[in-house]
């Protein structure tokens, strides 16, 4: 799986905590680092043959960047890759992101344990 920080957001502590929790749970995780474009994230996700991509965003650009990743995956014929996100995302935006193809949104304060459990239940045995 890939964990990525789209856009200009410079805070990656949460993404690193999630990536570490997923690794500690036995999953192979590639963390792309800060300031990734949707194109870079999709390229890495496809090249690594990932089953899922987790997007961490605190910048407020979630309504643009997360759907763009989903759109680019579809264009590449990789719409079977599970896209989930987390960060500072208002509750009112979650249904729109889900309608755009983001499978799950974790809001601020979600525990790494809950994220790992969700990934295990929704990404499948291929990720573990």
CA distance 94 to 20: 25
User: Which domains occur in the chain, in start order?
Assistant: 2-127 (3.40.50.280)
Q: How many CA atoms lie within 13 A of 71 on its CB side?
A: 10
* 10: confidence class by pLDDT, cuts 50, 70, 90: confident
Q: Is-contact 106 115, C-beta < 8 A?
A: yes
pLDDT at residue 9, rounded to an integer: 85
Is residue 128 pLDDT above 70, yes or no? no
In Å, how far are 29, 49, 66, 107, 123 from 95, measured between CA atoms? Answer: 27, 28, 13, 13, 20
- Letter string b/e over residues 3-37, b meaning 16 or more CB atoms within 10 A of that residue's CB: bbbbbebeebebbeebbebbeebebebbbbeeebe
Q: How many CA atoms lie within 13 A of 32 on its CB side?
A: 27
What pLDDT digit, counting tens, does each position of 28-57 carry? 999 999 999 999 999 999 999 999 999 999
pTM: 0.94
């Amino acid at each position: 799986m890939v964990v990525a920080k789209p856009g200009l957001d410079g805070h990656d502590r949460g993404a690193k905590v999630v990536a570490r929790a997923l690794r500690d749970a036995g999953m192979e995780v590639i963390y792309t680092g800060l300031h990734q474009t949707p194109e870079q994230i999709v390229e890495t996700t496809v090249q690594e043959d990932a089953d899922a991509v987790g997007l961490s965003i605190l910048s407020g650009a979630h309504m643009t960047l997360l759907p763009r990743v989903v759109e680019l995956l579809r264009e590449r014929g990789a719409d079977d890759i599970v896209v989930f996100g987390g960060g500072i995302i208002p509750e009112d935006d979650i249904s729109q992101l889900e309608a755009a193809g983001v499978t799950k949104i974790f809001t601020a304060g979600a525990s790494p344990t809950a994220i790992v459990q969700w990934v295990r239940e929704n990404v499948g045995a291929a990720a573990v």
